[in-house]
Structure 1
Amino acid sequence: MSVESYPPPFRNLLQPSLSHPVRTPDSGCGALYSDPIPVVDLRCLELGDCKLLEEPCKQWGLFRLVNHGVPQSLLRQLHDHARTLFSLNFESKQALIRNPLSYFWGTPALTPTGAALSIEKHKNINLVEGLNVPLCQLSRVQSDDPIIASFCIVLEEYGRHLGRIGRTLYEGMSKNLSLDPNESDTKLSESTGLVRVYRYPQWASKSKNQNKSTWGMDVHTDSSVLSILNQDEVDGLEVLKDNQWFTVKPIPNTLVVNLGDMMQAISDDKYKSVKHRVKVNEYRERISICYFVFPDEGSVIQSSIYKPFTYSDFQGRVQQDIKTIGYKVGLDRFKRIIP
C-alpha cells in the first residue's frame, strides 16, 4: 500500500513499517467454539430463544453472531470496496468524500477530523482513518466517481441487513428485561443507523511497550445502543472482561456485537457497555466495518441509576468533555447521587 494513501502526519511513522517484508501472521482465525467469546445464533433468537442473550449481555457486553443472514459475497464486496477507496492518495479521498459522507483520521470520529493534528503535538492521536456513512442519507449522495457510487450501493444493501439484525437483537433484549415494547422504536431508532469504515495501517513497533500513538483506537466504550462489527481476517480488536484483555479473533462469516452506553442505561446496568480497544497489526493493515444505532435524540432514558437524559443530552456532554478535558466520561456524568 502506497504511503501517499495515508494522512501526511502518519507517513514518517509508517514508512519503515511499509518497507518491511510482509509475511502472513497468525491472524487468530481458529475453531469457533474454542474461542472464549460467547456465541449467539440469530436463527435461534428469531425462533424465540431470547435467554441465550442473557449471559453474553450481562457478563461480557459482547458476543459473536452466527447464522446472521448477511451473504458472504456482500461482506467480501464491502471489504473490496473499502480497500479500493482507502488505497487512493490522501488528497483524492479528501476531494471525493463529501457531505453527507465524511472522511476522518486520527480519531474514532467522535471528534472533528484530524486534519489539523500532528503526531508531535497530539500524543493521543490514533493510527486510524475512516469513512462515516449516515445510512438514511445515502440517497443524497451525488457523485460521478464510480468508486463512491458503487460503494454506496453496497453500503445501502448492507444497512438493510444490519437494520434487521439490530431489531431482532433489541427485541430479544427487551423481552429479557421486560421493557415496554411500545418504546422499542424510539429506544432503537433505525433512522440513526450509521456505518463507519475503518482502516488501521500496518505498524511495526520498535518497542514491546507500544506507546499511545501506536494504537488504532484507545480504550473506550461505544455511545450506541448496539454496535455490530464486520472484521476482515486481520486481528486487532481486544475487549476487557474481569480486568483481563481478550483478543476477538477474526473468525470468518461471523459478526461481532457489542453493547454501548445507551443499552447499559436502558437496562438499568443489568447489561454491560463493554470496554474495548484496537491494536495496529505488525504485518498487515486492517479493515473493519461497524454499524452503530442509537435512540431517537429526544427519547428520554429513564433509570433508577441515572438521572433522566436523552441521547442528545448525552452526546452533547461527551463532546463537551472531549473538548475541555480531552476524553469521554460518559454515563458517570448522569449517575444519580445516592444519599
Structure 2
Amino acid sequence: MSFESYPPPFRQQSHVVHSDDSSKTLQDFDLIPTIDLQCLDLDNLHGACKNWGLFRLVNHGIPPTLLNQLQDHAKKLFSIPFETKQTLFTSPFSYFWGTPALSPSGTSLLNSSGNINWVEGLNIPLPHLSQIQSQTLSSFRVLLEEYGNHLARLSRALYEAMAKKLNLDTLESKSNLSESNGSLRVYRYPYYSDEADEAAWGLDVHTDSSVFSILSQDQVGGLEVLNHDQWFNVKPIPNTLIVNIGDMMQAISDDEYKSVKHRVKVNRSRERVSICYFVFPEEGRVIRSSKYKPFTYSDFQAQVQKDIKTLGYKVGLERFRAY
C-alpha cells in the first residue's frame, strides 16, 4: 500500500495491524429489506421506503463484471500519489477529502465530533463525462458512461413505482426526477488503526439531499443505518445495490417516506471503496408539500451551504418545515 496516495493528514496511520474491527452496532444481523426489481412488489417497496428509508436492490440488471471493473478502476485511481490526483482530477471531476463533498471548497471539514471525515473522493457529474480528455481516465469514462445508463434506467423504474404507490400525478411529478443533473461520488475510506481513538468516521451521521441515492459498495463493511433509534450494519452482499431515500423524496412524499440517517465507520485494517449515484429534481422544479413551504432543490442546497458555513453542519428539511 502506498501511503503517498493518502491526503497528508491520513498518512499517520501507516503501521500494520492484524486485527479487523467488526464495527459492532446494537443490531449486527441483516434486517435490511430486499426489493427484487424483476418482480417489483409495490407494497414491499412502499413498506421499505416508509419504515426504513433504505432497501437492498437485487436483480437490477447491471452486469457483475461492470460493477467489479468500476471498483478495480476506482482503487487504481485512488492509489495514485495525492499530489498527482490533485492535478489529474480536474473539471468536470472535483476531488475532495475530509468532507462528504457538501462543502463547496472540497477541502477538509470538521464533523460533529470535531474531527475531519476519514474519506477522500471524486465527484463526477455524469452529463459532462464527454469533457474528460485525459488518456489516464479514458477507460474509466467508458465504464462510467455504461454505468450511468443503467442508473438512469433504475432511477426511472424505482421512481415511477414510488409515484404510483403514492398516487402522485404522473405528468406533474415527472420533473421530480432529472437524469440531466445526476452525479456519482466515488469514495475511498482509508483504514484507521488507532484503536485508542473511537472518533474516526468515514462519514458522520447525515441524510442525503437527493431524491434517492443508489450505492455500490465493495466487500469491506462500514455503512450503518439508523432505524427506530438503533444502528444497523448494512452488510456488503455481492451484486446487490443499496438504495437510500433522500430529503427531496421525503418532501415529495409528504413525509410518507423518510430520508434515512446513515453513517460510515472506518475499518481498522482495510480500505473501503464505494460508488454512490445521486439523482435530483429538474432545475427550477418547485416541490410542493403540505408539510413544507414550496422550495426548489437550488433553494435547499443554498440553505445547506449557508448552514454548513455558519453552524458547521447541515440542518436540512427542518429549515423548510411549514409550521
TM range (shorter): over 0.9
1:224 counterpart = 2:213: no
Tell me the residue number matched to 1:80.
72
The answer for the alignment partner of 2:285 in structure 1 is 299
Between the aligned residues of both structures, percent identity stands at 64
Structure 2 residue aligned with 1:52, among 37, 41, 44? 44
Q: Which residue number in structure 1 is paired with residue 195 of structure 2?
A: 206
- Corresponding position of 1:308: 294
Q: Deviations over 1:190-214 (max 9, x none)?
A: 111111000001112323x612xx1
Q: Name the residue aligned to 2:14.
A: 15
What SS does structure 2 have at the residue aligned with 1:4? helix
1:318 aligns with 2:288: no
Unaligned runs of 5+ in 1: 29-33
Shift of 1:184: 3.6
What is the distance in 2 between the residues matched to 1:142 and 1:107? 27
| Partner in structure 2 of residue 176 of structure 1 | 165
Q: Which has the higher helix share?
A: 1
User: Residue deviations 1:235-267, cap 9 Å, x none?
Assistant: 000000000000000011110001000000000
CA distance in 2, matches of 1:224, 1:266: 11
Aligned length: 317
Question: 1:113: how far off?
Answer: 4.2
Cα deviation 1:143-195 (Å, max 9, x = unaligned): 132xx111111011001101100110000000000011113431010111111
Partner in structure 2 of residue 31 of structure 1: none
Structure 2 counterpart of 1:92, from 61, 77, 84? 84
Letter in 1 for 2:175: T
> What is the letter of the counterpart of residue 269 of structure 2?
Y
Measured in 1, the distance between the counterparts of 2:109 and 2:121 equals 17
Give the Cα separation in 2 of the matches to 1:25 and 1:69.
Answer: 33
Q: How far apart, CA to CA, are the structure 1 residues paired with 2:109 and 2:20?
A: 31
Alignment deviations for residues 37-60 of structure 1 (CA, whole Å, 9 cap, x no partner): 000000012xxx322211101000
TM-score scaled to structure 2, two decimals?
A: 0.94
Q: Please report the TM-score for the alignment, with normalisation by the length of structure 1.
A: 0.90
Counterpart AA for 1:186? S
Give the residue type in structure 1 aligned to 2:169: D
Shift of 1:95: 1.0
Instruction: Supply the distance in 2 between the matched residues of 1:221 and 1:272 (Cα, whole angstroms).
Output: 10
Superposition pairs for residues 235-254 of structure 1, below 5 Å? 235-254=221-240
Report the counterpart of residue 275 of structure 1 in structure 2.
261
Q: 2 CA distance for matches of 1:107 and 1:25?
A: 23
RMSD of aligned residue pairs (Cα, Å): 1.8
Partner of 2:244: 258
Residue aligned with 2:38, SS:
helix
Superposition pairs for residues 147-186 of structure 1, below 5 Å?
148-186=137-175
CA distance in 2 between partners of 1:226 and 1:144 (Å): 32
Please report how far the alpha carbon of residue 296 of structure 1 lies from its aligned counterpart in structure 2 after TM superposition: 1.3
SS at match of 2:91: coil
Partner of 1:5: 5
What SS is found at the alignment partner of 2:35?
Answer: strand
1:217-247 Cα offsets, whole Å, 9 max, x none, are 0000000001000010000000000000000
Report deviation, 1:99. Answer: 0.3
The equivalent of 1:37 in structure 2 is: 32
Q: Is the 8 A contact 1:105 1:113 kept in 2?
A: no
AA partner of residue 176 (structure 2): K
